[in-house]
């Protein structure tokens, strides 16, 4: 069997209290053998079983356990540490920690990091068989799974307390193998991917603007999936309040013209451009310097001018990346999207129907992919799963285009 590889992956290993904590020492060594860069965070109870010094020696990095450690905060703040992580692995995870994570508590450093991180979360539980089987624990596990966490184990077998059953920590080599398998292929390793996401806001006066209902979730999910596929990702984001996916460089913009400037500055050094932003088609001809006033009972006429088409401009660059557009349509989805693919000279277009019941402001979506001479439907799924499927197709088609 091939040795599992986690080459270059930044893994935050959280260790909670329990007799299995000693196995986390070997886990650190195996994670490092597989090429991962490991930082360890202990809960207060874990530090009763194994000293921070042991983990420090094994990981070659400072080990943290408290939120209130001034010197550790000064060298790398806890939010920075949460952002640093490309994967959060909890092993062993106690029933208490699983409960705290399921409820979104942030009452110690490890729980706070889990809440602040957008990296995938894997949990290897270790507890007494009756604690694992308890309805409360099972409900917490179900909640975390629903939110996308992956459970590694527990294994079934004899326990420290002369009992037997599911609840044992997986062996460290199994945890590493499962983690490596979860990573799957990294088809965009070595590639640079530029993604635009979110709406644009076009100012009318200092307090009003024209915007749209794009939440940015699809574009952020594409950026995250591309980073997980190994790409170096730049995300140009319109005004949204979403957390930056792990390992992604973000440029914030507000208007279509700012987005155009940022995208055109970045596009030449990228291999792929995914235009997921809902760029406003029109902007007011002029921005009023002061708040516009109501006058009598009269209306207001706003003169609008068209915004530049960023996607078409990128597709027209002499050294263009592989160009992927989105088409949000309320009717005739396939016809309109194919016309757009041809008119804007795209390599691929992802079309979806939008309206009151689908598309914007939702967690799930369905996509129809069209490219010159082909089509594929990606069935309704949550936006992160859909983004992973889309990124896999982009990797395939862009590799073919280069060949
Ligand atoms: O023509 P339409 O707006 O439907 O095209 C949608 C696609 O074009 C999306 O990928 C969107 O990001 C991009 N677009 C753009 N600049 C515009 C309008 C749309 O890049 N001004």
246 pLDDT band, cuts 50/70/90, is low
Taking only the tens place, the pLDDT of each residue in 265-300 is 999 999 999 999 999 999 999 999 999 998 888 899
Q: Which of 348, 304, 358 is nearest to 327 (CA)?
A: 348
Q: Considering Cα of 281, then 286, then 292, then 294, what sign does the dihedral take?
A: negative
Segment 353-373 mean pLDDT:
77
Ligand 1, atom 6: closest residue by C-alpha: 327
Find out whether 274 and 369 touch, Cβ atoms under 8 Å.
Answer: no
Beta strand residue intervals within 204-294, DSSP E:
209-210, 232-237, 248-252, 272-275, 282-284
Among 27-41, 85-99, 138-152, 298-312, whose mean pLDDT is lowest?
138-152
pLDDT at 258: 98
Answer whether 309 contacts ligand 1 (Cβ < 6 A): yes
- Where do the domains of the chain lie, and which CATH numbers do they carry? 10-183 (3.40.50.1950), 192-288+296-402 (3.40.50.10300)
Taking only the tens place, the pLDDT of each residue in 65-76 is 988 888 888 878
Q: Encoding tokens for residue 288? A: 């009023």
Q: How many whole angstroms separate alpha carbon 204 and alpha carbon 199?
A: 16
Answer whether 326 contacts ligand 1 (Cβ < 6 A): yes
In the residue annotation, 212 being an active-site residue is answered as yes
Taking only the tens place, the pLDDT of each residue in 227-237 is 888 899 999 99
Mean pLDDT across the chain, nearest whole number? 92
Find out whether 209 and 203 touch, Cβ atoms under 8 Å.
Answer: yes
Cα 187 to averaged position of ligand 1 atoms, centre (Å): 27
Q: How many whole angstroms separate alpha carbon 387 and alpha carbon 394?
A: 10
Taking only the tens place, the pLDDT of each residue in 156-205 is 888 877 888 889 999 999 899 889 877 877 899 889 999 999 999 999 99
The reply to whether the predicted model has a pTM over 0.85 is: no
Percent of the chain residues topping a pLDDT of 70: 97
Q: Encoding tokens for residue 74? A: 């000064």
Answer whether 327 contacts ligand 1 (Cβ < 6 A): yes
pLDDT at 403: 77
pLDDT at 1: 35
């Amino acid at each position: 069997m091939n040795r599992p590889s986690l080459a270059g992956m930044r893994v935050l290993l959280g260790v909670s209290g329990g007799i299995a904590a000693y196995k986390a020492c070997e886990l650190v060594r195996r994670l490092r053998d597989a090429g991962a860069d490991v930082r360890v965070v202990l809960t207060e109870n874990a530090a009763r079983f194994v000293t921070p010094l042991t983990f420090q020696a094994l990981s070659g990095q400072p080990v943290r356990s408290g939120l209130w450690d001034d010197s550790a905060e000064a060298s790398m703040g806890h939010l920075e540490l949460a952002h640093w992580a490309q994967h959060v692995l909890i092993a062993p995870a106690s029933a208490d920690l699983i409960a705290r994570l399921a409820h979104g508590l942030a009452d110690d450093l490890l729980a706070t990091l889990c809440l602040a991180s957008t990296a995938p979360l894997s949990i290897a539980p270790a507890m007494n068989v009756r604690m694992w089987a308890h309805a409360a624990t099972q409900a917490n596990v179900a909640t975390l799974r629903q939110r996308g966490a992956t459970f590694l184990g527990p294994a079934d077998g004899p326990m420290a307390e002369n009992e037997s059953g599911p609840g044992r920590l997986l062996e460290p080599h199994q945890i590493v193998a499962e983690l490596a398998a979860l990573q799957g292929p990294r088809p965009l390793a070595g590639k640079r991917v530029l993604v635009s996401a979110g709406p644009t806001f076009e100012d009318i006066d200092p307090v009003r603007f024209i915007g749209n209902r794009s939440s940015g979730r699809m574009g952020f999910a594409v950026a995250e999936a591309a980073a997980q596929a190994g790409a170096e990702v730049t995300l140009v984001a319109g005004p949204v309040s979403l957390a930056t996916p792990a390992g992604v460089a973000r440029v914030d913009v507000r208007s279509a013209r700012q987005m155009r400037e940022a995208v055109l500055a970045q596009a030449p050094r990228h291999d792929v451009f995914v235009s997921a932003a809902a760029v406003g088609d029109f902007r007011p001809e002029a921005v009023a310097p002061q708040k516009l006033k109501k006058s009598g009972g009269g209306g207001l006429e706003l003169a609008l001018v068209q915004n530049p088409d960023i996607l078409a401009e990128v597709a027209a660059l002499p050294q263009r990346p592989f160009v992927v557009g989105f088409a949000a349509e309320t009717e005739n989805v396939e016809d309109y999207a194919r016309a757009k693919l041809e008119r804007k000279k795209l390599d691929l277009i992802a079309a979806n129907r939008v309206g009151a019941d689908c598309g914007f402001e939702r967690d799930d979506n369905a996509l129809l992919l069209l490219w010159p001479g082909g089509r594929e439907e990606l069935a309704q799924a949550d936006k992160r799963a859909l983004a992973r499927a889309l990124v896999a197709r982009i990797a395939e088609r862009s590799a073919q285009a280069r060949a």
